[in-house]
Each structure stands twice: as C-alpha cells, then as structure tokens.
Amino acid sequence: MTTRTEPDRAASSPPAEAGAAHWLDALLDRMPRRPGELAAPPPGSGLGPVHGDRGLPVVGMGVHMIRHGPAFQLQLLRRHGPVSWWQVFGRRVVAVCGPEAVQEVLANRDKAFVTGWPDVVGPWFDGGLLAMDGPGHLADRRLLQAAYGEPALEGYLRRMVEDVTAGLADWPTGRPVRAVGAIRELSGQMTTRALLGVPYDAGGRQVMRDVEACIRAESALLRLALPGTAWHRAGRARRRLAARLARAVPQARVRADDDFLSVVGRLVGPDGGRLTLPQVVDHMIFTLIASHDTTTAATVAAVYFLGKHPGWQRRARAESNARGDAPLDVAGLHRLETLELVVKESVRLVSPSPILMRRAVRDTDVLGHHVPAGQLVSVCTGVNQLLPELWPDPHRFDPERFAEARGEDRVHRLAWAPFGAGQHKCVGMHFGMLKVKATLDALLRRFEWSFPASYTARWRFTSLPAPADGLPVVLRPAPGRPGVS
C-alpha cells in the first residue's frame, strides 16, 4: 500500500453492541430471560446440557434478535458460553459462537447436520444449493461452479457496469435520498440483464417485484397461504418466476449469449449430462433471490461506512479515478485494493449473512454439549467477526486490518466467513464481490457523500441487516468530475 488512512477511533459499529439508550432497548434489558436447559443429556453420555434463555412466553427472545442481531448473540455467548439456546416465537434454536464451535458444526465430520434453511425461510429456496444436501448438492454445485469462472464473470460484469452507470445517471444531488431503497432498485437494474439477459423494463421490474415478495416472506410470522398475507403473495410470485423461467430456458440453451441463464443452460457435466429444466428453474430462482438481497446489504453497509469515514472515501475514489475511462473488467476491479479493504471491513462489521442454519438429524454434541435430533442450530459466523480474541478493537472500522501486512482475517480460518464455509460456502461469492465493488466504484466516481458526526444508523435484523431509517443521504457531485471544481 502506498497510502495509509488512519482509522477513526471515535466511531464504532452500531451492530457491535446492544446499548440501552433507546427506550425499547432499556425495556428489553429488563425483560425476564428465564434461563434453563435445552434438553437432558443421555444418561452416562458424559455430555453437558445446553444452557440458554426462554424469554417471554411464545415470543421468547425474538424481539431481542430482531432489534440487536449479532449483538444479541454476543450476549448469549457471554452468558452461556459458545453453545447456548434461545427461544423465538415458540421455537428453540441452538446458537454456536466462536471459532471452535462454529468449526465443529461446519466440519460435520459425523454427518449429524444438514442444512436448516428450509425450516427457517420457507420453500422459496427449494431446489437451490442452499436447500440441498448430499450427492445431489455436490453434483449440482460442481456443475454450477463453471458459471462463476472468470470468463463467465467478465460477461456478467460488462452488463452490470453498463446498467449501474445508466442507473446512477437518474440519482438526484442536493436533496436527501434513502440509500437502502435506491440501492435495492439499482441492484434490480443490474440483476435482470446480467442474470436473465432481459432489460429492466416492465417485464424486468415484475421479475424483481416477485423476487422481493419472496424475500419479504422469509421473515413472515404467519406462514399460511391466506389471501393478503406475505406467504400467499410470495407463493404467487414464485409461481410467476417459475413459469417465466420455464419459458426462457429452452431459448437460453441455444442462444450464444453471456448472461447467467444462458451460461447455466449450456453447462455440461463430465458425464455429458446437464441440468434438467426444473433444476435450472430452481437454481435460477435461488440465485435471483440470494444475489439481490446479500449484495444490496453489503453495498448499503459500505456506503454507510464510507460516508462516516471520509478519509477512506477519498482514498477509494482516488483509486477508482486513477483507472481512467477504460471499460471496467475483472482484472481492473481486482486492482482497486482500497475498495477491497473497505468492502471486507464493512461486511465484517455488518455481515449480510451473519448466520448459517443447520439441523441435527440425530442426537449429537458440540464441544461436549448435548444437541438432540431435530434441533435447529444457528451457526453465528457474524459473531466471530466481532470477537476481541480474534480482532483487536473489533468494533472499530479499520479496513487496514485486511491488508497483507496485518492479515487479521487469517488468525483463524473462521474469523471472517461472510460467505459461509464448508460444503455450503457460497458458490457465487466472487460474483457477489464483483457486483458490490462495481456499484461502489461507479458511486465513488460520480458522487461524494457524508453523514453528520452525530448520526449513527440503527440497524434492523428482520431478514438481512439494513438501517431502519432507510439511510438518508445527500449526494454531491464528486470532485474531479467534468464541470466540477
């Protein structure tokens, strides 16, 4: 690195600690935790019970989790140790925190755990990699990896850069913009052509509305397909997506195009086989949902921290401007080292996917604690990214911790795992990073922004993390742009 930017030691990450300044936080802090054991270990097993908190009847500790996210899980770790449990809306969930406990579950050496996501988010990911296990998951994953190789990524990136440039041209300056909604819309514009090969017209917008309906249903409490409910709307949306994709796949298989659907449709395995039409449809729906939501969350986090730390924003902008006006390719994005550090630190502090869900298929144990069959397990990778034993001064925004000279992310293989780990590690992680960095590069070259020193975003965790107020920001033309002094 030729330039060093000092971290702002006065600024801290809002999700890092759960305070009591707000009346709701003070109320939650006074609510009874009702501690107890999850289940009695089998006699003679030598195992200990899992200790945790029941919380309020029915609701349990659900409001605590929605309000505080990883900070709530940090509190569980401090009260009960690396293996604990908590009750949420009538269901008991085991939480494993810390590198040893997380590694034991994800390594899954005795095959006691399968994916737990279908139990949590519902049927919207059915047929996608996140909802699969066993040989079928492995076979589909190996085949799909070819769709994320560098030649394929170049095609997706070219489309996304064109669309983000066009989309930002409509963003206003000089008046407040709610960044969360604007970035979600921008992500939709970048998604339809890169993944489906269709423009963001009336049809493309309908695709993204259907994707959003599925996303909103993931956190719905009423899981009945009654008219007017999020569950009912998501069911209709998924059926529309499936029907549209079923019509599009035969055309995508034969056209020589570089959108994701065309690439996946043409994939051929080592045995000469390829994905069936229903398989392509299911994998595409999962990819549309997962890539849109997680990249939006990561971009929002980076925009927030760049606005709170203008020194890092200036440094990242200088690198982006220095690349000139040549078309941005994968190699060019890799050379934006400052942006890489900023994104990694942003998703460390506000992880788009702070947990991984598993379900025990038989009685097992984690670090000597009895976990009964059928038990849902929340693998808290986001907590690991905030532990002081892994990260010095962990609540401070300090992208230099990812620089080669410090390498704090290498202290443990599960210290930084925003894309998961093990067999279910996100197969599209490189695509996701490219999308986030391409968005931020375009934003930095066009705008500058900042937040008042007194402003601290209050993050909500109903699905993926986002500022509860929508992150209002006033954009200004970036210094150095033509016509800007």
CATH number, domain with residue 58:
1.10.630.10
CA-angle at 412, arms to 411 and 415, nearest 5°: 100
Q: What is the pLDDT of residue 21?
A: 59
6 belongs to a structural domain: no
Q: Residue 482: is its pLDDT beyond 80?
A: no
Q: What is the pLDDT of residue 481?
A: 61
107 belongs to a structural domain: yes
Q: What is the pLDDT of residue 310?
A: 96
Q: What is the pLDDT of residue 32?
A: 86
Contact 128, 287 (CB under 8 A): yes
Phi–psi pair at 313, nearest 5 degrees:
-65, -45
- What are the pLDDT digits (tens) for 415-456? 999 998 888 889 999 999 999 999 999 999 999 999 998 899
Q: What is the pLDDT of residue 30?
A: 82
Residues facing residue 48 across a β-bridge: 369
Cα distance between residue 244 and residue 128, in whole Å: 17
Q: What is the pLDDT of residue 63?
A: 86
Q: Residue 315: is its pLDDT beyond 70?
A: yes
If one compares 254 and 483, the residue with the highest pLDDT of the two is: 254
One-letter identity of residue 236? R
7 belongs to a structural domain: no
Q: What is the pLDDT of residue 483?
A: 39
Cα distance between residue 393 and residue 409, in whole Å: 13
Q: Residue 296: is its pLDDT beyond 90?
A: yes
485 belongs to a structural domain: no
Strands 91-96 and 376-379: parallel
Structure letter (DSSP) for residue 123: G
452 belongs to a structural domain: yes
pTM assigned to the model: 0.92
Cα distance between residue 463 and residue 216, in whole Å: 8
Looking at 350-470, list the stretches that DSSP marks H as alpha helix, in order from N- to C-terminal side. 381-384, 429-446
- What are the pLDDT digits (tens) for 164-203? 999 999 999 999 999 999 999 999 999 999 999 999 999 9
- What are the pLDDT digits (tens) for 101-115? 999 999 999 999 999
221 belongs to a structural domain: yes
Cα distance between residue 3 and residue 128, in whole Å: 43
- What are the pLDDT digits (tens) for 6-62? 444 433 344 545 444 566 777 888 888 899 999 999 999 999 999 999 998 888 998
Mean pLDDT of the chain: 91
Q: For 387, how many CA atoms within 13 A lie in the half-sphere containing its CB?
A: 23
Q: Using CB atoms within 10 Å of the CB of residue 31, give its burial: 0 to 12 exposed, 13 to 18 middle, 19+ buried.
A: middle
86 belongs to a structural domain: yes
Closest to 317 in 3D by CA, of 484, 478, 174? 478
Cα distance between residue 253 and residue 357, in whole Å: 34
289 belongs to a structural domain: yes
Radius of gyration of the chain (CA): 22
Cα distance between residue 125 and residue 249, in whole Å: 19
- What are the pLDDT digits (tens) for 144-157? 999 999 999 999 99
Structure letter (DSSP) for residue 60: B
Closest to 286 in 3D by CA, of 124, 465, 423? 124
Q: What is the pLDDT of residue 5?
A: 55
| Boundaries of domain holding 226 | 14-409+422-477
pLDDT > 90 fraction of the chain, expressed in percent and rounded:
77
Q: What is the pLDDT of residue 13?
A: 41
Cα distance between residue 335 and residue 436, in whole Å: 15
Provide the domain count of the chain.
1
- What are the pLDDT digits (tens) for 206-221? 999 999 999 999 888 8
What is the mean predicted confidence (pLDDT) over 232-245?
Answer: 97
